[in-house]
């Protein structure tokens, strides 16, 4: 199972587009850090309402996936899933 999600990255969507990208990134980092060690949060200026959260380990990512689904952040219930892209490809989304 660990190999399937070897990049430990979650895709988060249905996020508020009312926050600046930096404020959204900071808040997501703090929120997801409650589930484990967050390596990075990638928010692209081209994909409003979406972000990728990279964890240091698969157990942290699994816990975050289970625990954060449907949590209300910034007035909207978030949707969380395993990211389909690997971390290297996600780096290109940074603006």
Q: Give me the tens of pLDDT residue by residue for the chain, a chain 95 residues long.
A: 444 545 699 999 999 988 899 999 999 999 999 999 999 999 988 878 999 999 999 999 999 999 999 999 999 999 999 998 765 555 555 55
Delimit the domains of the chain by residue range: 9-85
Interatomic CA distance for residues 61 and 74, integer angstroms: 21
Question: Residue 95: what pLDDT?
Answer: 52
Question: Residue 3: what pLDDT?
Answer: 44
77 exposure class (CB count in 10 Å sphere: 0-12, 13-18, 19+): exposed
- Residue the block writes with tokens 């157990």: 59
| Residues 6-22 pLDDT 10s | 569 999 999 998 889 99
- Residue the block writes with tokens 């587009």: 17
Instruction: Give the fold, CATH level 3, of 9-85.
Output: Alpha-Beta Plaits (3.30.70)
Tokens of 89: 């490809």
């Amino acid at each position: 199972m660990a190999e399937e999600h070897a990049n430990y990255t979650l895709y988060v969507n249905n996020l508020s587009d009312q926050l600046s990208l930096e404020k959204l990134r900071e808040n997501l980092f703090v929120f997801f850090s409650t589930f484990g060690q967050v390596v990075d949060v990638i928010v692209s200026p081209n994909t409003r309402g979406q972000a990728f959260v990279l964890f240091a380990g698969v157990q942290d990512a699994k816990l975050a996936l289970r625990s954060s689904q449907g949590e209300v952040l910034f007035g909207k219930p978030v949707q969380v899933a395993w990211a389909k892209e690997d971390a290297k490809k996600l780096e290109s989304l940074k603006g």
